[in-house]
């Protein structure tokens, strides 16, 4: 049984063993039971108070006790840099990748990277996972970015330094930068997406005139209570650092935090609790209305990354072309599908697929979607069985060599916009 505490960015306090958590101070001379106190900071010490994130851990061993890291040779398609070749401004789409007989970590496949990445602490990496095995006696940590995990098929158990999270399709989870964890598969093979945010940590967007409530409400985010494993013996820690993978043998599990407090912690969120707001008069709103989380950049209102969903909802707009309009945007858009179908692409975009519409690329409904939505009787209509998402960035996404070479790449995505009839002037 897993237990959660609710709230986004709250200051939590939790102990798996009574008496393990110090009261009234962070670093007592002698923590209870000989535990080691350690601070993990997710922002600079001097970040403004409302953005400041850190947690205090009370653990069986100090994290500092480990031998040197050496290069890790597993996960052959993970953490690769984007292709060096000049990038064509083409719209691209990939079908789902085949599953591999590997654990979550070794199945990770980097498809594209936006921005200058871990060195510059900007942008976002898009990875896919498609795994069949538990991670046993090994843990992973990204020093490069926080990991937004989006299951599409199969459940995951995320055993983290701060507790256990059970997440299944329809839910999402976030592992903060620097938090160690391993992944097990309670129901067998699993598949999904991971967005690795190299920039400012995700936060809830401002709501402006929407008011004090709406979109993703803070109370629906769930953070696990303290949990630990007391395991000694061979135990591998794989660390992603500046875009490459490193490993060391800790000789014990790093998931040994018996108590913790603070506001830097993993969480999960059920997308069904998203309060979707849309047009009740006319016109299809800009999709920023569907923002779940945002990572701001240094340019006001211009996100390093936005995480946006297109959930089930009522469409009632009058005299309106209801699916997304044709558009060319300054922001770049990577999209995936977690469930069902997407109303701008009636065919060809299936769950597990990925698409890329980079800065200023013309896109929008395909011919079939355009024909259907132009002809349909505009009665109130419930859009069901759908959950697309968008990872949107001010930075252009650059695919990896693997992404450009894989057979999963749609050879003729441009055909989606072929065959439109010409407008007829009077
Ligand atoms: O391209 C897309 O399908 C994403 C998108 C959706 C929408 O409702 C409006 C604009 C937009 O880029
Ligand atoms: Fe778009």
Contacts of 388 (CB under 8 A, 6+ apart): 309, 310, 335, 336, 337, 338, 342, 349
Q: What is the pLDDT of residue 205?
A: 98
Nearest to 257 by CA among 31, 37, 8, 24: 37
Q: What is the pLDDT of residue 25?
A: 97
Nearest to 176 by CA among 79, 45, 46, 268: 268
Q: Are strands 267-270 and 171-175 parallel, antiparallel or unpaired?
A: antiparallel
* Residues classed as catalytic: 284
Q: What is the mean pLDDT of residues 155-181?
A: 98
Ligand 1 pocket test, pick from 390, 392, 394, 416 with the greatest ligand atom count within 8 Å of Cβ, gives 390
Q: What is the mean pLDDT of residues 99-121?
A: 97
- Determine if ligand 1 sits within 6 Å of the CB of residue 363: yes
- Write out the H or E segment, with its range, that includes residue 292: strand 291-296
Which value does ipTM take for this structure?
0.97
What is d(CA 406, CA 426) in angstroms, rounded to the nearest whole number? 47
Nearest to 223 by CA among 185, 284, 174: 174
Q: Is the separation of the CB atoms in 397 and 359 below 8 Å?
A: no
Q: Model confidence over 342-375: pLDDT tens digits?
A: 988 877 799 999 999 999 999 999 999 999 999 9
What is d(CA 260, CA 38) in angstroms, rounded to the nearest whole number? 9
Q: Model confidence over 308-332: pLDDT tens digits?
A: 999 999 999 999 999 999 999 999 9
- Determine if ligand 1 sits within 6 Å of the CB of residue 163: no
Q: Model confidence over 235-292: pLDDT tens digits?
A: 999 999 999 999 999 999 999 999 999 999 999 999 999 999 999 999 999 999 999 9
List beta partners, residue 305. Answer: 295
What is d(CA 172, CA 269) in angstroms, rounded to the nearest whole number? 5
Ligand 1 atom with minimal separation from the 345 CA: 3
Q: What is the pLDDT of residue 410?
A: 96
- Determine if ligand 1 sits within 6 Å of the CB of residue 287: yes
- Determine if ligand 1 sits within 6 Å of the CB of residue 390: yes
Tokens of 322: 């209801």
Q: What is the pLDDT of residue 161?
A: 98
Over its C-alpha atoms, the chain yields an Rg (Å, rounded) of 22
Nearest to 201 by CA among 41, 38, 81, 14: 41
Q: What is the pLDDT of residue 2?
A: 66
Which residues surround the ion ligand 2 when the cut-off is CB under 5 Å? 333
What is d(CA 36, CA 40) in angstroms, rounded to the nearest whole number? 13
Q: What is the pLDDT of residue 348?
A: 79
> Worst-scoring range by mean pLDDT, 38-42, 77-81, 246-250?
77-81
Name the residue with the closest Cα to ligand 1, atom 8: 324
Ligand 1 atom with minimal separation from the 342 CA: 3
What residue spans define the domains of the chain?
Answer: 274-406
Q: What is the mean pLDDT of residues 51-73?
A: 98
Q: What is the mean pLDDT of the chain?
A: 97
Domain 274-406, CATH number (from 3.40.50.2000, 2.60.120.10, 3.40.50.150, 2.40.50.140): 2.60.120.10
Q: What is the mean pLDDT of residues 187-194?
A: 98
Ligand 1 pocket test, pick from 276, 287, 386 with the greatest ligand atom count within 8 Å of Cβ, gives 287
Where residue 43 falls among pLDDT bands split at 50, 70, 90?
A: very high
Ligand 1 atom with minimal separation from the 286 CA: 9
- Determine if ligand 1 sits within 6 Å of the CB of residue 278: no
Ligand 1 pocket test, pick from 91, 277, 324, 358 with the greatest ligand atom count within 8 Å of Cβ, gives 324
With 80 as the cut, is the pLDDT of residue 57 above it?
A: yes
Q: What is the pLDDT of residue 346?
A: 78
């Amino acid at each position: 049984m897993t237990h959660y505490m609710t709230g986004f960015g709250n200051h939590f306090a939790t102990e798996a063993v009574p008496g393990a958590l110090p009261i009234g101070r962070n670093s007592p001379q002698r923590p209870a039971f000989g535990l080691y106190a350690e601070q993990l900071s997710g922002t600079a010490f001097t970040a403004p108070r409302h953005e400041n994130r850190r947690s205090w851990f009370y653990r069986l061993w100090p994290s500092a006790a480990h031998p040197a890291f050496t290069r890790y040779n597993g996960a052959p398609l993970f953490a690769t840099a984007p292709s060096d070749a000049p990038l064509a401004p083409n719209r691209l789409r990939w079908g789902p990748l085949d599953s591999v007989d590997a654990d979550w970590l070794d199945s990770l496949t980097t498809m594209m990277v936006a921005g200058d990445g871990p060195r510059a602490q900007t942008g976002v990496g898009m990875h896919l996972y498609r795994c069949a095995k538990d991670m046993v006696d090994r843990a992973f940590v990204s020093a490069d970015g926080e990991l937004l995990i989006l299951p599409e098929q199969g459940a995951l158990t995320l055993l983290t330094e701060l507790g256990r999270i059970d997440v299944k399709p329809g839910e999402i989870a976030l592992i903060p930068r620097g938090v160690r964890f391993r992944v097990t598969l309670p129901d067998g093979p699993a598949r999904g997406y991971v967005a690795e945010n190299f920039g400012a940590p995700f936060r809830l967007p401002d709501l402006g005139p929407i008011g004090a409530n709406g979109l993703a409400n803070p109370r629906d985010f769930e953070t696990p209570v303290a949990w630990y494993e007391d395991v000694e013996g061979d135990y591998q820690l794989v660390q992603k650092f500046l875009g490459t993978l490193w490993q060391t043998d800790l000789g014990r599990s790093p998931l040994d935090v018996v108590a913790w407090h603070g506001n830097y912690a993993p969480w999960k969120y059920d997308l069904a609790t998203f309060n979707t707001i849309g047009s009740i008069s006319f016109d299809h709103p800009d999709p920023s209305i569907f923002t779940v989380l945002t990572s701001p950049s240094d340019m006001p209102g211009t996100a390093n990354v936005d995480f946006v969903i297109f959930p089930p909802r009522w469409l009632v707009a009058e005299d309106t072309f209801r699916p997304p309009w044709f558009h060319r945007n300054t922001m770049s858009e990577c999209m995936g599908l977690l469930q069902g179908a997407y109303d701008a692409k009636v065919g060809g975009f299936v769950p597990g697929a990925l698409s890329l519409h980079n800065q200023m690329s013309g896109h929008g409904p395909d011919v079939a979607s355009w024909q259907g939505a132009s002809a349909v009787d505009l009665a109130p209509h419930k859009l069901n069985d759908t959950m697309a998402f968008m990872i949107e960035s001010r930075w252009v996404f650059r695919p990896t060599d693997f992404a450009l070479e894989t057979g999963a790449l749609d050879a003729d995505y441009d055909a989606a916009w072929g065959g439109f009839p010409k407008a007829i002037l009077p």
